[in-house]
Amino acid sequence: MNQATDGILTYRGVVYPWHCDHIGHMNVMWYAAKFDEATWGLFASCGITATYLNHLRRGMAAVQQSTTSKKELFAGDVVSVRSNILEVRERVLRFRHEMTHDDSNEVAAISELTAVHLDQTTRKACPFSAEIAERLKTMSSSMEGGDLNLSS
């Protein structure tokens, strides 16, 4: 399967003219914004929803992000982001987003992130709940290339 179609769909949207910089292509800040929306789509599919976070006083914090640009995007381009879980640890989730240009199916950008599960009261990393850990384990093992490790 083409990497541009692997993973789960976590975002779909359009490049608006105000997303473009003075040389006419989508500015890097909008790649980050679209990847951020995809992150919340991925989290929701894993059960890490606003309800979960608020009810248990938990949070997620990105601690590392690496983005690679592959193809320029312009106003009017429709894009999709597909996401894969790469690694699950007791308190850490590493995942990958791939943004494609819907018309050409070409990869426009790739972003890999590492996020930490937090206790909002202590402001320290804490283990995922058993239910979320199990869901992450199931999703990770079903995703091609997912490397599962539930140790700390």
- Look at residue 129 and tell me if it is in a domain: yes
- Look at residue 152 and tell me if it is in a domain: no
- Look at residue 28 and tell me if it is in a domain: yes
Report pLDDT for 140: 86
- Look at residue 100 and tell me if it is in a domain: yes
Report pLDDT for 17: 98
Domain containing residue 86: 3-145
Element (H, E) at 83: strand 78-88
pLDDT tens digits for range 83-128:
999 999 999 999 999 999 999 999 999 999 999 999 999 999 999 9
Categorize the per-residue pLDDT at 143 as very low, low, confident or very high, splitting at 50, 70 and 90: confident
- Structure tokens of 77? 């381009």
For residue 12, what is the domain's CATH number? 3.10.129.10
- Structure tokens of 60? 């997620």
Q: Give yes or no for a contact between 83 and 41, defined as CB atoms under 8 angstroms apart.
A: yes
- Look at residue 151 and tell me if it is in a domain: no
Report pLDDT for 141: 81
Categorize the per-residue pLDDT at 144 as very low, low, confident or very high, splitting at 50, 70 and 90: low
- Look at residue 150 and tell me if it is in a domain: no
- Look at residue 82 and tell me if it is in a domain: yes
- Look at residue 136 and tell me if it is in a domain: yes
Number of domains in the chain: 1
Rounded CA gap, 40 and 30, in Å?
Answer: 15
pLDDT tens digits for range 8-67:
999 999 999 999 999 999 999 999 999 999 999 999 999 999 999 999 999 999 999 999
Element (H, E) at 97: strand 92-101
